[in-house]
């Protein structure tokens, strides 16, 4: 808790006596650390090493959210999600990556960008950090559509009222973490100060530092 009484996460790093990477994939890997616990014992911790991600809650003038339906093999579901993608380049500006994902996945551009929320997706087993942006003032992007492949070749695109997504989340019908976090955070932001109080699109992101 900060000196102003507000609850905050605090950066902290316990001593690591040994570290190895038993698996490295195309985009992510698995690391095994030997970590010194507060009582002096040493515990093994395995976790996914991840470059980080961005996601975009794109909201149109009719209060509809752009969503995509995509097959996700690990959970054996076709999930409704918001546009998202990896931070492929170390130090990449997350806003640039978000603009790219919005263009590539739904061929849309936006004029108004805000940071909606930052999160760690599964901090007990992964170091993945995600920044979710709110994008408004949408329009069709110029140029040719991005060529889809693999799971994205079967992707569906829809515009769904925000209220319907909130209902689906609370009913257990929608499960993607970025979609759920985004729509519920947007609803909360509207109820507590309005969208103009959201952080600017270039707000610092200590979890994944970037250049302007």
Here the tokens at position 49 are 């090493």
Spatial separation of the C-alpha atoms in residues 173 and 51, rounded to whole Å:
29
| Largest interatomic CA distance in the chain | 60
Task: State the Cα–Cα distance between residues 81 and 74, nearest whole angstrom.
Answer: 15
- Given the residues 61, 101, 128, 152, the one annotated as active site: 152
Tell me the pairing of strands 156-161 and 16-24. unpaired
- Cβ(188)–Cβ(174) under 8 Å? no
What's the 3-state SS for 49-113?
Answer: ECCCEEEEEEECCCCEEEEEEEEEHHHCEEEEECCEEECCCCCCCHHHHHHHHHHHHHCEEEEEE
Decide if 137 is catalytic: no
Q: Would you please indicate which residues are annotated as catalytic (active-site) residues?
A: 152
């Amino acid at each position: 808790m900060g000196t102003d009484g507000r609850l905050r996460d605090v950066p902290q790093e316990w001593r690591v006596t040994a570290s190895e990477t038993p698996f490295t994939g195309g985009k992510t890997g698995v690391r095994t650390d030997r970590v010194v616990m507060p009582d002096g014992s040493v515990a093994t911790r395995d976790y996914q090493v991840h470059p980080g991600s961005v996601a975009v809650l794109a909201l149109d003038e009719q209060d509809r959210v752009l969503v995509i339906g995509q097959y996700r093999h690990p959970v054996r579901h076709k999930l409704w999600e918001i546009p998202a993608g990896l931070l492929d380049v170390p130090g990449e500006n997350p806003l640039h990556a978000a603009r790219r994902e919005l263009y590539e996945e739904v061929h849309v551009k936006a004029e108004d960008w805000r940071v909606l929320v930052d999160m760690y997706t599964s901090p007990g087993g992964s170091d993945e950090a995600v920044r979710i942006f709110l994008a408004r003032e949408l329009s069709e992007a110029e140029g040719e559509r991005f060529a889809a492949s693999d799971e994205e070749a079967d992707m569906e695109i829809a515009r769904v009222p925000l209220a319907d997504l909130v209902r689906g989340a609370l009913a257990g019908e929608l499960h993607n973490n970025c979609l759920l976090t985004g729509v519920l955070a947007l609803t909360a932001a509207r109820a507590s100060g309005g969208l103009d109080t959201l952080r600017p699109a270039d707000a610092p992101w200590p979890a994944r530092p970037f250049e302007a």
